[in-house]
Structure 1
């Protein structure tokens, strides 16, 4: 099948017709299909066109290559824009969140193939679809606290509604989940074999409604077995207390989670905890509005530029955060991020 640029031309994402399907394929395999502003604009325009096209009954999104659907937004480009005061990072996030909302409200079935790496912005273009398919090789995560940011793209909406405190654990640590874990946490619907994806897409192209597909029951989720310590430790609104509780547990996974959180940006962790608590009573649209406010503040914080440098540019995994630890982040600092 040949994919073509849309009316906003870019070779980083392609579009095609396949029977009654509109097909979207992200095409930056070397970057695990990380989203650029041009890709986001092109998808918004194409989805708008297909929404009024009666011959298109459903839309499917997948990614070029075997590494994954999407590793997130291209934050290295955003870092360069901030450092050199060129471009407009805030407009990138505004349009990205518009795309997330458009997918959530799309008038036709939107099917996401969440194979391989699905992180950050990759969650935003998949988790709000009407059918979300992971595979045994899926790695689903919102790892933003590692780069001095917070889980955005509305991701705290489903994560705040995950069973117990699973969403809090995923948001604060940013650790990847399996496909089955993503189903448990409300970010996906089931797990399919990679070899079966094309036949599923062919059935959709032939007119089979997503609800009538013969899909497997997902396997047991690994995180289900960790619920005792996760639910016990992640309660409340005090990140320092959460880390202390994790360190006091006998389970190695709990103590590892404590060390992971302690290595993240202290400001990011504190803000993320406050944000996921607020998200629990918000609609998706309200969470995306909250994300816009938080994003504008994080652009001015040194932790974002430093985190992207340490994790994605120099890759020394040795960020120098503005705060020495979680105890140094004040309640007033966190509250100001939400204004």
Structure 2
């Protein structure tokens, strides 16, 4: 049965497919805790339902697929005891892990803005569809966070030094770039999606061939043109060395990146780089999420998170006052502190029925 239209997520069975439709258009479908819980509950119900052969994830109306998490609510929570923020991340990460380990294939339509938390529910899917409207980014350093929701696992497996570039700058890439980097495996014009979704609901066992049949060759990838620059200038795992390389280059592209990085939280940038070193060392996605939850628990209580959200989304003055204000003032010991394991009573755990992959 389709949930009431006033809910932020529509969850229902359509033919032989389970449908998860984000339904918060005024907020660009940003995830809140009720949405996370609704999607989790639906996936758990469908897990052993033989009538559901495929899960389709998209948005019901409006532009954008998912702009991320509802960080304004979380940031305001962090000003108090942070309980609401911690509950959100705990449950969001459980949803991310459930999707990553889910036995039934998922198809996600990244038809529009796909950022932050939207990446976290897109990248676990077996079939990821980009369109001419796709705008993909992990912009967390802008608000004093890091690319979480499994971002360490997904980004660190990209070719060359693209992960470091995307994580630090929050660069926006398009659908063609997503296909070129392997973040999407099909490029399909948006005008073909409605008919395709109807076919998928009728014949879910043919998902891969149906998707391939509607796919077209994407336009030339813009990021492909700057991969040599990215690999050379973002080669180091030390933030100050990246900044020095950009300054020494002196080219227009390098200057643009320096201007972008000057607006980011120095703490968040250093933590993000460290995470990209640590993520490939995590044997299972469960370990990745446990590590990321420890980091995010400390970061969303850190002053830079509230300050970044205030500057970007509350007061909108775009003038964050980071503390520490410079990369040099963020010591290795400070970065290490974000990666210390949480006490057992606070540590993240997957949903009891999830696998451990």
Shorter-normalised TM-score: what interval? over 0.9
Contact 1:33 1:64 in 2 (8 A): no
Residue 188 of structure 1 aligns to a residue whose secondary structure is coil
Distance in 1 between the 2:151 and 2:248 partners? 29
Distance in 2 between the 1:290 and 1:66 partners? 35
Distance in 2 between the 1:317 and 1:158 partners? 29
1:218: how far off? 3.5
* Aligned counterpart in structure 2 of residue 147 of structure 1, from 133, 143, 146: 143
Q: Which moved more, 1:182-191 or 1:122-131?
A: 182-191
Residue 140 of structure 1 aligns to a residue whose secondary structure is strand
Contact 1:181 1:221 in 2 (8 A): yes
Equivalent residue, structure 2, for 1:4: 3
Q: String of CA shifts for 1:46-70, please: whole Å, max 9, x gaps.
A: 0010111111110111113332111
Q: String of CA shifts for 1:104-142, please: whole Å, max 9, x gaps.
A: 111111111101111000000111101111111111111
Equivalent residue, structure 1, for 2:209: 212
Residue 122 of structure 2 aligns to a residue whose secondary structure is coil
Contact 1:66 1:116 in 2 (8 A): no
| Structure 1: gaps (5+ residues) | none
1:250: how far off? 4.5
Mapping of residues 151-170 of structure 1, within 5 Å: 151-170=147-166
Residue 249 of structure 2 aligns to a residue whose secondary structure is coil
| Structure 2: gaps (5+ residues) | 341-357
Contact 2:111 2:133 in 1 (8 A): yes
Q: String of CA shifts for 1:120-168, please: whole Å, max 9, x gaps.
A: 0000011110111111111111100000111100112111111110111
Mapping of residues 77-96 of structure 1, within 5 Å: 77-85=73-81, 87-96=83-92
Mapping of residues 120-269 of structure 1, within 5 Å: 120-208=116-204, 209-213=206-210, 214=213, 215-269=215-269
- Taking structure 1 as reference, are residues 72 and 175 closer, same or farther at Cα in structure 2, changes over 3 Å only? same
Contact 1:246 1:254 in 2 (8 A): yes
Equivalent residue, structure 2, for 1:15: 11
Q: String of CA shifts for 1:252-305, please: whole Å, max 9, x gaps.
A: 222211221121000000000010111123343222111101011113210001
Q: String of CA shifts for 1:9-31, please: whole Å, max 9, x gaps.
A: 97111112221111111111000
Q: TM-score, normalised by structure 1?
A: 0.95
Distance in 2 between the 1:201 and 1:325 partners? 49
Equivalent residue, structure 2, for 1:313: 314
Distance in 2 between the 1:287 and 1:56 partners? 29
Distance in 2 between the 1:271 and 1:86 partners? 20
Residue 182 of structure 2 aligns to a residue whose secondary structure is coil
Give the CA RMSD over aligned residues.
Answer: 1.7
Q: String of CA shifts for 1:234-266, please: whole Å, max 9, x gaps.
A: 112210110121222254222211221121000
Residue 248 of structure 1 aligns to a residue whose secondary structure is helix
Equivalent residue, structure 2, for 1:302: 303
Equivalent residue, structure 1, for 2:350: none
Residue 60 of structure 1 aligns to a residue whose secondary structure is strand
Q: Which moved more, 1:227-236 or 1:82-91?
A: 82-91
Contact 2:11 2:38 in 1 (8 A): no
Distance in 2 between the 1:301 and 1:107 partners? 37
Aligned residues: 335
Contact 1:10 1:39 in 2 (8 A): no
Residue 65 of structure 2 aligns to a residue whose secondary structure is strand
Instruction: Name segments (4+ residues, structure 1) moved above 4 Å.
Output: none
Contact 1:10 1:42 in 2 (8 A): no
Distance in 1 between the 2:295 and 2:311 partners? 22
Contact 1:24 1:61 in 2 (8 A): yes
Equivalent residue, structure 1, for 2:328: 327
Residue 312 of structure 1 aligns to a residue whose secondary structure is helix
Q: String of CA shifts for 1:204-243, please: whole Å, max 9, x gaps.
A: 1111422212123443321111011100011122101101
1:86: how far off? 6.3
Contact 1:36 1:73 in 2 (8 A): yes
